[in-house]
């Protein structure tokens, strides 16, 4: 009798645990659904691809042979992802791009262990996959994107906030990003490599000193809220710009101090800041150089200190300008 009673109690407990787990799972799903309401509503087919990482049928997408001039936005959150200038015909059956809007697309290892998935950096929507070394364009990169993950807006219809871009190199890019990313007016920061001659460089290649690249920070900002000159002054206040090819314990050409300007206006502003520093008695070693292609660094470098909870070891803020 005791044995039978024990079995009955055990069954009740198991059923109770199963029911609790089911309720918790449903609650999690409900919570996820509530979260997605902040984004654009999706059809079941859009959700299959964008949320559940599916793939639309080849040659069936709206933008596979589309030739319009404008921006391609994320279907889920309206973030700008690609420009039509970077779209090309690969013959693969899906829209192909050899470049993205800076910082708009994140690369992560695919669950299949072989490919690299691309997602919207803003909302995590599945876009497709990226492939290198196929030789389709000079950039040797193909973003293979599902049309259903995108929406298109002509250039003349795009009336969102005007943004600008700045590139700074000041030693280990972890610390530069940490001290600049929360500045008012800064929209997005991305660490990477600039100033060299090697395409698609890896961190190991840059560290070898053979690529000519410097570890750098790309800053996307709203010029109505923060000026380029103010960002440049902040850059000089967070690193030792008197050191040559080093920053603290980090030694090498990749750790050099540099401002990489995009136009004459930025060049003039950077030179003006250096002139002010020289007038204060500083011997400035910072290079002011025309920017070439910026290469995004590996994912594990992005917002390193925020992710790890550590603190910069060779960067500290020191007020210099009034």
82 φ, ψ (degrees, to nearest 5): -140, 155
| Burial letters 208-239, b for 16+ CB under 10 A, else e | eeebbbbbbbbbbbeeeebebbbbbbbbbebb
CA distance 211 to 224: 36
> Which is the catalytic residue, given 74, 77, 123, 144?
144
User: Is the distance from CB of 217 to CB of 296 less than 8 angstroms?
Assistant: no
CA distance 77 to 73: 8
User: Is the distance from CB of 169 to CB of 258 less than 8 angstroms?
Assistant: yes
Neighbouring CB atoms inside 10 A of 2's CB total: 6
Q: 314 an active-site residue?
A: no
Q: 144 an active-site residue?
A: yes
> Which is the catalytic residue, given 120, 172, 207, 314?
172
Q: Taking phi first (over 0 means left), then psi (-120 to 50 degrees means alpha), and beta for anything else, what does residue 90 get?
A: alpha
Angle, CA of 97, 102 and 104, to the nearest 5°: 75
Active site residues: 144, 172
């Amino acid at each position: 009798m005791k044995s039978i009673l024990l079995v009955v109690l055990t069954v009740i407990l198991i059923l109770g645990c199963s029911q609790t787990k089911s309720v918790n799972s449903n609650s999690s799903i409900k919570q996820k659904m509530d979260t997605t309401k902040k984004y654009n509503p999706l059809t079941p087919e859009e959700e299959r691809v964008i949320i559940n990482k599916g793939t639309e049928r080849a040659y069936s997408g709206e933008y596979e042979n589309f030739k319009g001039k404008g921006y391609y936005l994320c279907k889920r959150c309206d973030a700008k992802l690609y420009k039509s200038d970077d779209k090309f015909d690969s013959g693969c059956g899906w829209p192909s791009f050899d470049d993205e809007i800076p910082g708009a697309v994140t690369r992560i290892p695919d669950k299949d262990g072989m490919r690299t998935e691309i997602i919207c950096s803003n909302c995590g929507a599945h876009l497709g996959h990226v492939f290198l070394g196929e030789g389709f364009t000079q950039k040797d990169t193909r973003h293979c994107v599902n049309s259903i993950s995108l929406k298109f807006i002509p250039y003349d219809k795009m009336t969102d906030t005007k943004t600008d871009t700045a590139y700074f190199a000041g030693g280990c890019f972890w610390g530069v990003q940490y001290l600049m990313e929360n500045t008012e007016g800064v929209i997005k920061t991305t660490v990477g490599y600039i100033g060299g001659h090697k395409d698609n460089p890896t961190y190991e290649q840059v560290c070898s000193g053979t690529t000519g690249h410097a570890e750098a920070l790309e800053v996307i900002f709203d010029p109505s809220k923060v000026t380029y000159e103010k960002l440049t002054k902040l850059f000089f206040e967070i690193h030792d710009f008197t050191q040559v090819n080093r920053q603290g314990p980090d030694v090498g050409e990749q750790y050099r101090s540099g401002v990489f300007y995009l136009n004459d206006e930025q060049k003039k502003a950077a030179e003006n800041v250096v002139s002010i520093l020289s007038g204060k008695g500083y011997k400035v070693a910072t290079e002011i150089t025309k920017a070439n292609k910026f290469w995004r660094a590996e994912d594990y470098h992005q917002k390193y200190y925020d992710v790890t909870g550590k603190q910069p070891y060779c960067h500290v803020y020191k007020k210099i300008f009034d």
